[in-house]
C-alpha cells in the first residue's frame, strides 16, 4: 500500500455504457457505490481509447478501496497502471497526457495525500485552458476519496473540497448515491475540461440501483426529497444525514425538502434558490470545518439571493474548526441527524 481560467466543462452528461451499446439494452443493477465507480471506469475505458487510469496501487491490487479492481486484467497495463508514490508526479504526468490528446483519470488514494500535487492542480490543471485561450484543454479527472466515517486517522479523512472549489477553472463534483457515482463519473470523464471528483469514502459500501443509460448533467443539483417547510442543502457524504433528519422531522410535523448539490462548482444557484424561495428556511450540511467552507459559500449565496423570502437565518451544520478527530471520537465530530434537527428547530417556527 502507498504512503500514507478556462470555464470548467459542462457536458450534458455521460454516454450510455459500452456494454449497453453492445447489448442494445439498458443495464439496471443494484450496486455499491464502489462497484458503480468501477463500472463507470470500465465503461469509459471500453468506449474511449483515449482514457487511461493510473495512480498508487490501482493496478493489480485494484486500489485501496478496490475501485479499479479488475481493470488492469481486462484492459492491460497500458490503460490501467501503478505509479510511484509521488502525487505531484502523477498529476504532472496527467497534464502532459491531456495536452497530447489522452483523457487521464488519476486516483489520489486518500484526500490529504493529494496535497503534494496541489500546486500542479492550481497552477496548471486549472489554468492551462485560460492561459492558451482554449487552444489547450485539460480533459482529465482527479479522483479523490474524501471525508470521514471509516475510522481513519488524519491525512485519511480530510474534507478538502473547499480548496478545489475556490480555484477557477475546475469543476468539483461529489456524488451521494451509486447512480450519481456512475453517471457523474461518466460525465466527468467525457468533459473536455478538468474535473476534481470527490468520492465519499463512507458511502463506498452503500447500495442502490444503477441505470447505465441515465446521463448526469455536471451543471445541475437535484431535489432528492420534496418538502414545503425547510430546505436541507447538502452534498456527498452528508446527503444521507439530511435524508435521515428529514424523515424524523416529518414525524414531528415538519415538511423537509432535501437538495443534493452534487456539483460544488459551477454551483447550481437555480435549483437551490428555487427550493429555498418555496420553503423560506434553509440549513446547509457538510462534514468539512465550517470556516471559509463550501457550506459558508452556500449560506452566503442563499442570503444574497433569497433574503426577502427567508423566515429565519440560514443555519449551518458542519464539522468543527479543528483537525479531524481520532477514530474513537469521529462520531462527535461528524454532523449527524440530531444536530440537523436541532438546527431546524431554531428557524423561527410559529408554533414555538
Average pLDDT by consecutive 10-residue portion of the chain (352 residues)? 34 41 66 98 98 97 96 97 96 96 96 92 95 93 94 86 97 98 98 97 97 95 98 98 98 96 98 98 97 98 98 97 90 95 94 70
The answer to whether 156 is a known catalytic residue is: yes
Question: What pLDDT, on a 0 to 100 scale, did the predictor assign at position 155?
Answer: 81
Name the burial class of residue 46, with classes exposed (0-12), middle (13-18) and buried (19+) by CB atoms within 10 angstroms of its CB: middle
Question: What pLDDT, on a 0 to 100 scale, did the predictor assign at position 192?
Answer: 96
Question: What pLDDT, on a 0 to 100 scale, did the predictor assign at position 4?
Answer: 35
CA dihedral 223, 225, 226, 232 (to 10 degrees): -80
- Residue 23 belongs to what H/E stretch? helix 18-23
pTM score, whole prediction:
0.91
The C-alpha atoms of residue 316 and residue 314 are separated, in whole angstroms, by 7
Continuous H helices in 69-175? 71-75, 87-99, 118-120, 128-131, 161-165
Helix (H, G, I), strand (E, B) or coil at 226: coil
Please identify which of the residues 156, 166, 331, 348 carries the catalytic annotation.
156
- Residue 263 belongs to what H/E stretch? strand 263-265
Amino acid at each position: 500500500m502507498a504512503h500514507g481560467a478556462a470555464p470548467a466543462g459542462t457536458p450534458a452528461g455521460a454516454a450510455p455504457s459500452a456494454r449497453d451499446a453492445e447489448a442494445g439494452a439498458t443495464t439496471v443493477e443494484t450496486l455499491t457505490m464502489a462497484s458503480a465507480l468501477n463500472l463507470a471506469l470500465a465503461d469509459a475505458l471500453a468506449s474511449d481509447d483515449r482514457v487511461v487510469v493510473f495512480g498508487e496501487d490501482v493496478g493489480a491490487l485494484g486500489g485501496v478501496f478496490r475501485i479499479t479492481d479488475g481493470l488492469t486484467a481486462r484492459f492491460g497495463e497500458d490503460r490501467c497502471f501503478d505509479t510511484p508514490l509521488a502525487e505531484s508526479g502523477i498529476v504532472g504526468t496527467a497534464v502532459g497526457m491531456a495536452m497530447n490528446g489522452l483523457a487521464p483519470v488519476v486516483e489520489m488514494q486518500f484526500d490529504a495525500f493529494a496535497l503534494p500535487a496541489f500546486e500542479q492542480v492550481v497552477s496548471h490543471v486549472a489554468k492551462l485552458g485560460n492561459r492558451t485561450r482554449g487552444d489547450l484543454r485539460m480533459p482529465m479527472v482527479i479522483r479523490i476519496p474524501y471525508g470521514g466515517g471509516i475510522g481513519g486517522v488524519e491525512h485519511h479523512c480530510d474534507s478538502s473540497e473547499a480548496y478545489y472549489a475556490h480555484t477557477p477553472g475546475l469543476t468539483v463534483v461529489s456524488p451521494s448515491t451509486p447512480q450519481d457515482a456512475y453517471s457523474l463519473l461518466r460525465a466527468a470523464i467525457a468533459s473536455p475540461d478538468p474535473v476534481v471528483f470527490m468520492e465519499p469514502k463512507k458511502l463506498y459500501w452503500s447500495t442502490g440501483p444503477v441505470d447505465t443509460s441515465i446521463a448526469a448533467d455536471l451543471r445541475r443539483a437535484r431535489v432528492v426529497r420534496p418538502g414545503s417547510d425547510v430546505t436541507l442543502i447538502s452534498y456527498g457524504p452528508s446527503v444521507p444525514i439530511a435524508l435521515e433528519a428529514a424523515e424524523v422531522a416529518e414525524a414531528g410535523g415538519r415538511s423537509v425538502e432535501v437538495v443534493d448539490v452534487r456539483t460544488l462548482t459551477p454551483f447550481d444557484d437555480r435549483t437551490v434558490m428555487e427550493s429555498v424561495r418555496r420553503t423560506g428556511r434553509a440549513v446547509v450540511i457538510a462534514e468539512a470545518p465550517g470556516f471559509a467552507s463550501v457550506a459558508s459559500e452556500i449560506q452566503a449565496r442563499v442570503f444574497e439571493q433569497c433574503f426577502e423570502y427567508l423566515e429565519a437565518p440560514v443555519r449551518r451544520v458542519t464539522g468543527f474548526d479543528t483537525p479531524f478527530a481520532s477514530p474513537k471520537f469521529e462520531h462527535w465530530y461528524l454532523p449527524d441527524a440530531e444536530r440537523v434537527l436541532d438546527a431546524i428547530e431554531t428557524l423561527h417556527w410559529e408554533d414555538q
